[in-house]
Amino acid sequence: MRISGFSSGLDIDSMVKELMQAKRAPLDKLNQQKQLLDWKREAYREQSTKMVSFINDKLSSLKSTFSMQAKKAEITGDTGAVSVSASNSASNLPIDVTVTSVGTAAGTEIKFAGKTRDSLMSDVLGTTDSTTIVINGKDVVISDPANTSIQSFVTQINKQAGSEVNATFDSATGKLVITSKIVGASSDIQISDNLLSKGEVKNITQSDPEFSINGVSSTELIANGAVKIDPNNSNVITYDGMQIILKGTGTVNIQTKPDTDKLVDAVKSFISDYNTLISAMNSAVNEERYRDYAPLTDDQKAEMSEDDIKLWTEKAQSGMLKRDDIISSVVSGMRTALTSKVSTAEGDFSIFSLGISTGKWNEGGKLVIEDEDQLRQMIELNADQVISFFSGVGTSVTSEDKKKGIQYNEDTGIFNRLSNLLNDGLNRLAERAGTSRISSDLNSSFLASSTMGMESRDLENRIKDMKNKLTRLETNYYKQFTAMETAINKYNAQSGSLSSFLS
């Protein structure tokens, strides 16, 4: 129990507070060190989330565009006969496709005379008992035929056996048509007799399509492997890097060419996102560091207004990554990767060949399209080279090369170069600050095993020990003052007794 200075007349609480204020200086120092460490980790996490987002959201999408969607197919002639999508492996040679007939699926037609979609299944089946119809191995259960319409039965077929077949019913003719979802000669329909026996049955014959490409018949094209047939739909064929869907009869001419507009838009998108990233990283390593503004203590905050606290804290937090070695090296690596040549099958290529420059000297390596006409012309004339320049995978880097700091080879495209550099940076940030290598969430947790994570735990332990030490010291001060008060009180009591005796 603490005793106030009733006997001595001293303000003991104030005196202890003043005595402790000087003793708390080392604790304030530790708390400030911990705050600076936390701020720096948060600054690292902000940069790492931007890097992860650029890899996962930007580069991933761009790689897909350049590797799979860089070419388009133009169709002339009976345009309703086919639809075409071209991959990057498609040659630019024109082809003629003639479709004589399209493939059909096997099916079964069951006519229920005089029945409409509202007719009950009990009237069709001749029973009100629960009945199971088996269609291509799938059970379609009619639990209450007396309250199940034919249309409801069709819905059940499409729901319970929809992966195998498709069912329709025509009230005008009373025909239930069930067709296989596999188109071509490999399709088949099997329906249990407890449904087939209830109507007039007609089988629908399946067939493969007949077509020719540049005068060569489909039979010969399939036999020599030039054409591949989709096993689930023989109307979908693959030829020379193109997927061709046969939709009707007729003759078409197909010409593949670079999708210039899409690629130009992709390059613009890349430049915009890259500039945003490198600008943020440059800002972080160049932000002014105000070392005279240390994190505020609780006592200091108590004497300041909220606006002053905010302004002070902004200064104290600034420049956490000033000249940071990891971020600086990633920025430098990205700038080098973009300006270095890329070796493609068609020869060496650089970003400057596309009418793109690195902007002014003070813009920190931002990219600028100086001549869009040149970019379009290079795509149209050298599409394969441009695609390789941006999305080429390149040869693998050996473990020995990685030890030397080599992240990519000359034949590695720009997107993969940047991915490699950024992933290396993310690994280094994870080791130092404990940031996530895969998350773009600003609230993602830090890895405790990182260098800064261990520093944080050490500071937390030292802060805890210092608080315990100060608590003991404060308690000791109060004990000393309590002893003084007790002694003074005892002296006063003796003095009073003596005075009474003498009087």
**Complete DSSP assignment for 320-370:** TTTT-HHHHHHHHHHHHHHHS-EEETTEEE-GGGGTEE---GGGTT--EES
Average pLDDT, the chain: 90
For 467-496, what is the mean pLDDT? 78
**What is the total residue count of the chain?**
503
Q: CB under 8 Å to 435, separation ≥6 — which residues? A: 41, 44, 45, 48, 49, 426, 429, 444, 446, 447
Pairwise pLDDT comparison (482 vs 85), residue with the higher score: 85
For residues 44 and 188, what is the distance between their CA atoms, to the nearest angstrom?
61
For 408-413, what is the mean pLDDT? 90
What percentage of the chain exceeds 70 in pLDDT?
96
Helix (H/G/I), strand (E/B), else coil: 441: coil
pLDDT at 488 over 90: no
Q: Which CATH class is domain 105-204?
A: alpha beta
Confidence class of residue 82 from pLDDT cuts 50, 70 and 90?
Answer: very high
Pairwise pLDDT comparison (476 vs 132), residue with the higher score: 132
Q: What is the pTM of this model?
A: 0.73
- For residue range 230-264, list pLDDT tens digits in order: 999 999 999 999 999 999 999 999 999 888 999 99
25: exposed, middle or buried (Cβ count in 10 Å: 0-12, 13-18, 19+): exposed
- Residue 341's pLDDT is what? 93
For residues 424 and 352, what is the distance between their CA atoms, to the nearest angstrom?
26
Helix (H/G/I), strand (E/B), else coil: 217: strand
For residues 270 and 264, what is the distance between their CA atoms, to the nearest angstrom?
10
Checking DSSP bridges between strand 105-111 and strand 200-204, what pairing results, if any? antiparallel
For 214-232, what is the mean pLDDT? 95
- Residue 199's pLDDT is what? 94
For 423-445, what is the mean pLDDT? 93
For residues 167 and 177, what is the distance between their CA atoms, to the nearest angstrom?
6
For residues 178 and 176, what is the distance between their CA atoms, to the nearest angstrom?
7
479 and 2 in contact (C-beta within 8 Å)? no
Cβ atoms within 10 Å, residue 410: 13
Measured between alpha carbons, how far is residue 356 from residues 338, 365, 376 in Å?
A: 10, 12, 12
Structure tokens at 281: 């990283």
pLDDT at 4 over 60: no
- Residue 402's pLDDT is what? 80
- For residue range 97-122, list pLDDT tens digits in order: 999 999 999 999 999 999 999 999 99
120 and 146 in contact (C-beta within 8 Å)? yes
- Residue 437's pLDDT is what? 92
Query: For the chain, what are the domain ranges?
Result: 12-65+262-287+322-451, 71-101+209-258, 105-204
- Residue 100's pLDDT is what? 97
For residues 478 and 4, what is the distance between their CA atoms, to the nearest angstrom?
9
12 and 479 in contact (C-beta within 8 Å)? no
Asked which of 23-32, 244-253, 475-484 is least confident by mean pLDDT, the reply is: 475-484
- Residue 1's pLDDT is what? 47
- For residue range 349-405, list pLDDT tens digits in order: 899 999 999 877 778 889 999 999 999 999 988 888 898 999 988 888 888 888 788
For residues 102 and 113, what is the distance between their CA atoms, to the nearest angstrom?
31
What percentage of the chain exceeds 90 in pLDDT?
69
